Amino acid sequence: MGRTLAEKVWDDHVVRRAEGEPDLLFIDLHLLHEVTSPQAFDGLRKAGRQVRRTDLTIATEDHNTPTLDIDKPIADPVSRTQLETLRKNCAEFGVRLHPLGDVEQGVVHVVGPQLGLTQPGTTVVCGDSHTSTHGAFGALAFGIGTSQVEHVLATQTLPLAPFRTMAITVDGELPEGVTAKDLILAIIAKIGTGGGQGYVIEYRGPAIEKLSMEARMTICNMSIEAGARAGMIAPDQTTFDYLQGRDHAPKGADWDAAVEYWKTLRTDDDAVFDAEVHIDAASLAPFVTWGTNPGQGAPLSASVPDPASYEDASERHAAEKALEYMGLTAGQPLREITVDTVFVGSCTNGRIEDLRSAASILQGRKVADGVRMLIVPGSVRVSLEAVAEGLDKVFTEAGAEWRHAGCSMCLGMNPDQLAPGERSASTSNRNFEGRQGKGGRTHLVSPQVAAATAVLGHLASPADLSDVATPAGV
Amino acid sequence: MEAFTTHTGRAVPLRRSNVDTDQIIPAHWLKKVTRDGFEDGLFEAWRKDPEFVLNKPQYKGATVLVAGPDFGTGSSREHAVWALQNYGFKAVISSRFADIFRGNSLKNGLLTVVLPQETVDRLQKLVEADPAAEVTVDLVDRQVRAEGISADFELDENARWRLLEGLDDISLTLREEPSIVAYEANRPSFKPRTIEV
C-alpha cells in the first residue's frame, strides 16, 4: 500500500524502531527562542550534557521583545532577564543566535523559512506550538514542550508516538477577496478545536496548490488551532522557487539532489488517510471569530450565534461563556462589532505578502478615528523589504503605527497589549481569554479584513469599502 | 522525574471545555526561567473570582482535577504542567486532552487520564455533591476509583512504564547512541545546517 507524505517524511527519520516503543526520530532542525528554552539549558547544565548538534540548532528572540525603542534597555526586568538568559545559554553552548537588533531577528517561524533552513522532507521542532507553520514546505514540523527541547538539545532525536493521517482537500478556487486565513478559520470552525487531535493534516487539492508559500504557511500555522499534531502541504514548483537562492538552501549539485528527493514527497495515489475532509473553496467568504477559541468563527456576513442553537451541552456552555467574555449578544450582526485596536502581524500573518495586502487596502485611506492600528513585520528582513517597497509610508500616512519585528500583540508577553475591555481585530492565531492582554477581546481576521476594519472602525471586508471615498489617482 | 504508581486525594470539578494553556498559565508568567513558583499563576484570571471552584474552601488541598473536554489546547508551554504540579495537582482527568499538553504532562509525572465524558460527568457530580469524596488514580491497575465509580483507562504501555519507574527520557535515548551515530552518517549532504562546524 502507498504511503502519505507525512508517513514518508516520518519513515525517512526513524533512528530506531522497536516493538511496543515509540519510534526514535532524528530532528533536522531545532529552533529556539527565549521563553521555552531556559529550563532546558538548565537541565543540560545540571546533567553535564552538551548540545549534540549546534549545526542543526538556531535561536532568535521574539516573544518578549518590544516593538518600540529597541535601542534602549528593555524596561521589564523579568523580560530582560529571560533574553539575557538566552544570550548566555547560546554563548555557553555554542548555539547561533539572532538577538534583538540583528538583521536576521524576528518571529522564529518567519526566520526559519526566510533563511532557507526550512526545507521539504525535514523534521523541524521548536518549543512553540506554531512550529506547524513549517509544514507548508512539506516538512514534518511540530511544537514541543521544554522537556522535549532539552531532549533534542542533548540527543538531536525525539521518541514519538505514532500519528494518524487526515486529508483536508480544498476543491475549486477561492473567490476574489477570500484568503488563506479565511480558509483556515473556516476549516477550524468546521472540524472544531479538537477535530485534528492525534492527526497530521495534509492540505491538498487545487485551491491549496494555487497558494503562495506565505499563504501556505498561514494555513499550516493554524493546524494546531484544530488540535492537530502538524499540518503539511506537498512541496511543488512554488516551494522550490521560494527556496532557490536563499542563504541555507542547497547549492549546485546538492540543489539538484535535493529537488530530486523533494519531488518524491507526495502522497501515493493508493495511500489511504485515516480521515478525509472536503471543502469547496468557492463556498467560502471572509471569515472572522466571535468567541474565545479559534473554532468559534463565522462568515463576516453572519450574526453572533445564539448559544441555545447548540445541541451539545458543552458547546452551548462554551458559547455562553464566550459571549459573556466578549461582551456580545446573540443575533448581533458581526459587521456591526466595533473595534478600538487592529493588529497586523504574527507568525500567522506577518510576512511580506500579508503586509502588501493590508497596504493595498490602506493606500490613500485613513484609519478611523479612535482606532489604533499596529503593523508589526514578522522579521527584520520583512521590515526591510516592506520599507524598500514604501509600504511603511502607506501605513504611517494612513495613521497606523509601523513597528519593529516581533511577536508583539499576538500574546501578552511584551508591552504591546490590549487593556481590559478593549477589542481588537487581529491577524494572529488565538482569541483565547486574555491572550492579547488581561480582559482584552480578540476577533481573528485576515490582513485584508484587518485593514478594512481599521478604515471603517467595525468588522468589515474590503468589499465594504466601495462607498468610502478615496482620493483621486489612487 | 518522580515515579507515579497510585494516588488518592480529593478532587476539584472544573466544568469548562476547551481550557487552553493561556488560561492555565497566562503568558506573563512565562518570563520566569525556573520550573517552580507557578502556583499563583494557575488559572490566574479565574481565581480573581471568589466563586471560581478553586477558591472554594471545600476544595482546598485537592490533588485531582476533573476537567471538561479538550483540556490543555493551544500553546506548547510546559509551564502549564508545572503550574498544575506546583499548585499540588497529581492527576488530571478529562475526556480529551490536547496532544502537546498530554505529552508534556506525562514527561513531568503529572498523570493525565482519559475517561469517557459520561464517566467524567459522574465524577464531577460526585465531588460536587461531596467535596470530601476521595478519588483514586491507580496507574498500576489503570483504573480510576471513587465511591460508586470504577473506570478503567488506557495508557500506552511504554508511557506507563516510564511513569511507574520515573524514568528520564534523555538517559534512555542516550543508550541508543550507536543508532543515532549510524543515522547521522547516512544523512544526505543537502540537508540544511545553521552553522559550519
CB contact under 8 A, A39 and B99: no
> Residue range A383-411: average pLDDT?
98
Domain count, chain B: 1
Q: Is B125 on the interface with A (CB under 8 A)?
A: no
Residues of A with Cβ-Cβ distance to B103 under 8 angstroms: 144-145, 148
Alpha-carbon gap, residue A378 to A348, rounded angstroms? 9
What is the phi/psi pair of residue B141, to 5°?
-95, 5
Is pLDDT at A468 greater than 60 in this prediction?
A: no
CB contact under 8 A, B107 and A28: no
B88 in a domain, yes or no?
yes
Residue to mutate among A129, A251, A265, with most B CBs inside 10 A, is A129
Amino acid at B45: A
CB contact under 8 A, B76 and A55: no
Write the pLDDT tens digit of every residue in A234-288. 999 999 999 999 999 999 999 999 999 999 999 999 999 999 999 999 999 999 9
Cβ(A378)–Cβ(A353) below 8 Å: no
Domain A5-275 has CATH 3.30.499.10: yes
B177 in a domain, yes or no?
no
Rounded to the nearest integer, the mean pLDDT of chain A is 96
Q: What confidence score (pLDDT) does residue A1 get?
A: 86
Alpha-carbon gap, residue B87 to A391, rounded angstroms? 48
Q: What confidence score (pLDDT) does residue A473 get?
A: 40
Grid-cell match 534512555, residue found: B172
> Residue range A287-313: average pLDDT?
97
Looking at residue B40, which CATH number applies to its domain?
3.20.19.10
B195 in a domain, yes or no?
no
B188 in a domain, yes or no?
no
Name the residue range of residue B54's domain: 6-166
Write the pLDDT tens digit of every residue in A116-160. 999 999 999 999 999 999 999 999 999 999 999 999 999 999 999
Q: Is B167 on the interface with A (CB under 8 A)?
A: no
Write the pLDDT tens digit of every residue in A347-374. 999 999 999 999 999 999 999 999 999 9
Burial per residue of A101-114, b for 16 or more beta-carbon CB atoms within 10 angstroms, e otherwise: eeebbbbbbbbbbb
Residues of B with Cβ-Cβ distance to A225 under 8 angstroms: 74
Q: Is B107 on the interface with A (CB under 8 A)?
A: yes
Burial per residue of A155-188, b for 16 or more beta-carbon CB atoms within 10 angstroms, e otherwise: bbbbbbeebbbbbbbbeeebeeebbbbbbbbbbb
Alpha-carbon gap, residue A148 to A157, rounded angstroms? 9
Is pLDDT at A165 greater than 90 in this prediction?
A: yes
> Residue range A337-342: average pLDDT?
98
Give the confidence band of A472 by pLDDT, cuts at 50, 70, 90: very low
Alpha-carbon gap, residue A181 to A353, rounded angstroms? 12
B150 in a domain, yes or no?
yes
| Chain A closest-CA separation from residue B156 CA (Å) | 9
Write the pLDDT tens digit of every residue in B43-62. 999 999 999 999 999 999 99
Cβ(A376)–Cβ(A405) below 8 Å: yes
Amino acid at A315: E
Is pLDDT at A87 greater than 80 in this prediction?
A: yes
CA-based nearest residue to A345, from A462, A444, A246: A444
Domain with CATH 3.30.499.10 in chain A: 5-275, 304-467
Alpha-carbon gap, residue A88 to A412, rounded angstroms? 24
- Enclosing H/E stretch for B65: strand B64-67
Is pLDDT at A334 greater than 50 in this prediction?
A: yes
Torsion of CA A132, A134, A137, A138, to 10 degrees: -40
Give the orientation angle of helix B157-165 with respect to helix B99-108, to 10 degrees.
Answer: 30
What class does CATH assign to A304-467?
Answer: alpha beta
- The ranges of chain B with pLDDT < 50 are none
Residue to mutate among B2, B14, B19, B100, with most A CBs inside 10 A, is B100
Write the pLDDT tens digit of every residue in A29-74. 999 999 999 999 999 999 999 999 999 999 999 999 999 999 999 9
Q: Is B48 on the interface with A (CB under 8 A)?
A: no
Three-class DSSP labels, chain A: CCCCHHHHHHHCCEEECCCCCCEEEECCEEEECCCCCHHHHHHHHHHCCCCCCHHHEEEECCCCCCCCCCCCCCCCHHHHHHHHHHHHHHHHHCCEEECCCCCCCECHHHHHHHCCCCCCCCEEEECCHHHHHHHHHCCEEEECCHHHHHHHHHHCEEEECCCEEEEEEEECCCCCCCCHHHHHHHHHHHHCCCCCECEEEEEECHHHHCCCHHHHHHHHHHHHHHCECEEECCCCHHHHHHHCCCCCCCCHHHHHHHHHHHCCCCCCCCCCCCEEEEEEHHHCCCEEECCCCCCCEEECCCECCCHHHCCCHHHHHHHHHHHHHHCCCCCCEHHHCECCEEEECHHHHCCHHHHHHHHHHHCCCCCCCCCEEEECCCEHHHHHHHHHCCHHHHHHHHCCEECCCCCHHHCCCCCCCCCCCCEEEECCCCCCCCCCCCCCEEEECCHHHHHHHHHHCECCCHHHHHHCCCCCCC
